[in-house]
Amino acid sequence: MTRFARLSLALSLLAAPAFAAQTPDFFAPRAGLDADTALYLDAWSGRADVEERLRARLRETPAPANAADGWSFLCNFEYHAAQYAKAIPDCEKAIALNPDGGDANTLAIVKLVADQPPPRAYGSARVPVTRGVHVPVKAGGYDGTAIADTGAQVSVMMQSVAKAAHVKMMGASKEVGSTTATVSGQIGLIPEVRLGDAVVKNIPVLVLPDAQLTISDGKKSVSLPFILSLYALADFGRIAWMDHDRWLALGSAAPASFPGAVPMIWHPAGIAVPLDGPGGRRAAQFDSGADVSYLYEDAVPLVSDAERATIIKTKRKIGGVGGVVTEDVRRFPTVAFTLAGQPLVLKDADIAKEPETGEAARLGEDVLQTYSAVVFDFGAMTFSVSP
């Protein structure tokens, strides 16, 4: 399939933290932070005890200065954990404190699915991967492929695919943020998706017109019939890209973490892992739906002086569900990092404008192709790679 030089399919329902610009990196040392900031950052670690500690703190009087961010975290954490009814009042609290945040979008969805059964994953499988992280799936009468996208926080289907997959339509969504623009459509529930011998049931899905899921820059086009979200994949507990992105292993078919495993956290744009360089460590969002990794300005202090001297100015074209945009960027011809204890060299690495969430990089499919195995363990919240 023809692909753009830079293609990312991230779809986000989460509001960016209102105080992101003043917030330390998610992997920053906690020493010296005020207790409320540290608690908020710790909540992204995925530990249930921290979630309840954060809730207790938010209920205190006076409320913490970052209460809007705290309620927003709970709103979205509970949505993705399929605690739909519990999410409704927390989303309402977040909206009351920050009406311009993205939590109204999440609230609209959880209200639509509040009475529906939660997603559940069963079994394990090892399925082939083709370029663009496409994996074979069956859903109702749909027998085709889906993009296994760790950068998508909601699964997405074309209308024609949703009809074939017997999607149960729930109602209209509000705006959902994508890499390049906001989109809106219908919210539904996919009864069942099969990936080899593995099954995921009751997946919330955003259904869009077929034309909106065909991205074109006038010369090339990419069709996106079905995007399987991070949270549908995470329901298996453990996933791994194997043999340099030739196979996707789900559940017990995925290997256990390798030596050198590092902490993995939930992130406002999905999932994040630590990226190390001579200048320190910062969070990097892992977006398998991006064909090529790129950096943000916060990555520049991580690299060596010699590498900084090689930066050039250029343009990049990036495609997403919202369309195609061209940006002025800077670029590293070559830059070296360490990822989970293993070397990572990126070539022609663009430096994009700073994201609101403050991460240093977005790691894409090229990283999956670099290693013999890339393991995401959602039970232990660890990330590891094997050379």
Q: Are 265 and 45 in contact (CB under 8 A)?
A: yes
Q: Do strands 198-208 and 155-158 pair parallel, antiparallel, or not at all (unpaired)? A: parallel
- Which DSSP helix (H) or strand (E) runs through 205? strand 198-208
Mean pLDDT taken over the chain: 89
Count CA atoms closer than 13 A to 38's CA, side-chain side. Answer: 7
Residue 87's closest CA among 67, 68, 71? 71
Torsions phi, psi for 115 (to 5 deg): -95, 10
**pLDDT tens-digit readout, 317-369:** 665 555 567 778 899 999 999 999 999 999 999 998 877 788 999 999 999 99
Which DSSP state fits 16?
P
pLDDT band for position 8 (cuts 50, 70, 90): very low
pTM of the model: 0.90
What percentage of the chain carries pLDDT values higher than 70?
Answer: 88
Q: For residue 102, how far is the Cα from the chain centroid? A: 16
**pLDDT tens-digit readout, 245-274:** 999 999 999 999 999 999 999 998 899 999
Please report the pLDDT score of residue 17 as a whole number.
Answer: 46
Q: Hey, CA dihedral for 184, 157, 361, 94, is it positive or negative? A: positive
Distance CA 109, CA 170 (A): 9
Joined tokens for residue 275: 């990226």
| Secondary structure class of 25 (helix, strand, coil) | coil
Please report the pLDDT score of residue 222 as a whole number.
Answer: 82
Q: Which of 104-113, 182-191, 226-235, 288-297 bottoms out in mean pLDDT, i.e. has the lowest?
A: 182-191
Which DSSP state fits 255?
P
CATH for the stretch 262-386: 2.40.70.10
Q: Are 165 and 142 in contact (CB under 8 A)?
A: yes
| Secondary structure class of 56 (helix, strand, coil) | helix
Torsions phi, psi for 97 (to 5 deg): -85, -25
Q: Which of 73-77, 203-207, 266-270 bottoms out in mean pLDDT, i.e. has the lowest?
A: 266-270
Give me the CATH topology for the region 118-253.
Cathepsin D, subunit A; domain 1 (2.40.70)
Distance CA 344, CA 86 (A): 41
Q: For residue 84, how far is the Cα from the chain centroid? A: 20
Please report the pLDDT score of residue 22 as a whole number.
Answer: 52
| Secondary structure class of 265 (helix, strand, coil) | strand
Distance CA 25, CA 21 (A): 10
**pLDDT tens-digit readout, 51-65:** 999 999 999 999 999
Please report the pLDDT score of residue 15 as a whole number.
Answer: 41
Q: Hey, CA dihedral for 20, 25, 353, 285, is it positive or negative? A: negative
